[in-house]
Structure 1
């Protein structure tokens, strides 16, 4: 046994050292000069997250955040490349350098701020409960007797697992992508889905036959969409913030809100 540990211990230490060096680099390295030189920035997203970033039937990537990111980086002459990722691994992809930004309906939360730096917020959101239209469930408290679905690594999961006293389910079922939870809701395997209001409203209005109800709760705090990046990327953060301010001043941000939501009520303003 002693001989085994003598052999395996150096590899374990090497792995830990490697993880620490990746984390240290992510927290200290400013990559703006590399991005500017390549004239390209890579954004990680879940390409099924309507209306922020999703693939249309013709295979084209579209969405509110897709449009917004392109408008921000157009100001700096930089092309935006979008990379589909496993959403539960977004921070790992960011730290490893596979992507430069997490920009896909990404809410700023205390848990995420420990590992990721955020831009200024640009859109208001909150968590809602979606049930079938004929469901006996009419409020959050009634979920205690039923199974509840949510996306792995989502704001909904973080909020549900936090110290909130608003909604508790009999069981929680996690999904890689939200559309899969709707399949289970239709089949009766779960009775509700906890998810972003932005997603719920758009999905029901544009991609279903309206067989669902959205349940809100005044005790649910608003969360803010912002851009996630490595803590070392201070210049990139400044560039994104200034880009968002510019789009706010020239009304382009307002136009995008009206294009994707039909109104400007989610807009944060100054």
Structure 2
């Protein structure tokens, strides 16, 4: 990074969940524009971007991605689970420094935060159980449809211009705190269909058994993920963008992508 003088050493990346992840990183002498440690706010149920494994550690694509950016920039990141509904409030109040967790870039969110360059494409897919008669967007009329509250998925549904959302049973989707709850609602039969982030939805379906589910050809739009940053933290934004370019050029990004999305 242009603003950092790198001194090779070995440090510990301390995650907010209490785990210590050893990394081959660097310690930085910073010119005052950057701190050495930042808190990343995330949803610990958003697999495969960030979630707790069987040992209780926070893992996932975004965790690996952030860790590699940290190695390049000489910064340490702490991972802090937050109430996803409050993410922008937590960021702008200074309780966290970054929103780095499958955070969709939208015009509405740009009014509240700055974004890094986009790093992953995503879609908002419609999922049903495999024996459902629902085959298209139009078939959602009169059906119970669920999604996560305060999510980009909900924003995409609210922005839909086809008018289908108003035709749902109840005139709106049923909302749950997490996408895990949303999938449980579908499996229990309380919902007829759900709308979810594709990267999360396909990961969960694989864990539960893909044969149980059907993904419609119709969806609620394509989007991109970025890192949410306070608007005044321009040096941090620049460091993350430079790191993203470098890990794409040196192949590290592809390695992380294959680890979490190859299958």
TM-score, normalized by length of structure 2? 0.83
Shift of 1:210: 3.6
Matching of residue 138 in structure 1 with residue 135 in structure 2: yes
On the 8 A contact 2:105/2:224 being kept in 1, the answer is yes
Name 1:184's counterpart in structure 2. 185
Alpha-carbon displacement from aligned partner over 1:3-35 (angstroms, at most 9, x marks no partner): xxxxxxxxxxxxxxxxxxxxxxxxxxxxx9475
Structure number with the higher helix fraction is: 1
Tell me the distance in 2 between the aligned counterparts of 1:133 and 1:184: 15
Shift of 1:258: 1.1
Tell me the distance in 1 between the aligned counterparts of 2:254 and 2:146: 33
User: Which of 45, 67, 86 is residue 42 of structure 2 equivalent to?
Assistant: 45
Matching of residue 234 in structure 1 with residue 234 in structure 2: yes
Shift of 1:78: 1.8
> How many pairs were matched up?
229
Shift of 1:58: 1.3
Label 1:166 to 1:70 Cα distance change in 2 as closer, same or farther (>3 A): farther
Shift of 1:84: 0.6
On the 8 A contact 2:34/2:235 being kept in 1, the answer is no
Mapping for residues 92-111 of structure 1, pairs under 5 Å:
92-111=89-108
TM-score, normalized by length of structure 1? 0.81
Name 1:194's counterpart in structure 2. 195
**SS of corresponding position for 2:218:** coil
Higher relative contact order (CA 8 A, sep 6+): 1
Shift of 1:200: 0.8
Shift of 1:191: 0.9
On the 8 A contact 1:35/1:41 being kept in 2, the answer is no
**SS of corresponding position for 1:80:** strand
Tell me the distance in 1 between the aligned counterparts of 2:39 and 2:92: 13
- Which blocks of at least 5 consecutive residues in structure 2 are unaligned? 1-30
Tell me the distance in 1 between the aligned counterparts of 2:130 and 2:164: 19
Shift of 1:207: 4.0
Higher-Rg member (1/2): 1
Name 2:11's counterpart in structure 1. none
- Which blocks of at least 5 consecutive residues in structure 1 are unaligned? 1-31, 264-270
**SS of corresponding position for 2:147:** strand
Structure number with the higher strand fraction is: 2
**SS of corresponding position for 2:118:** coil
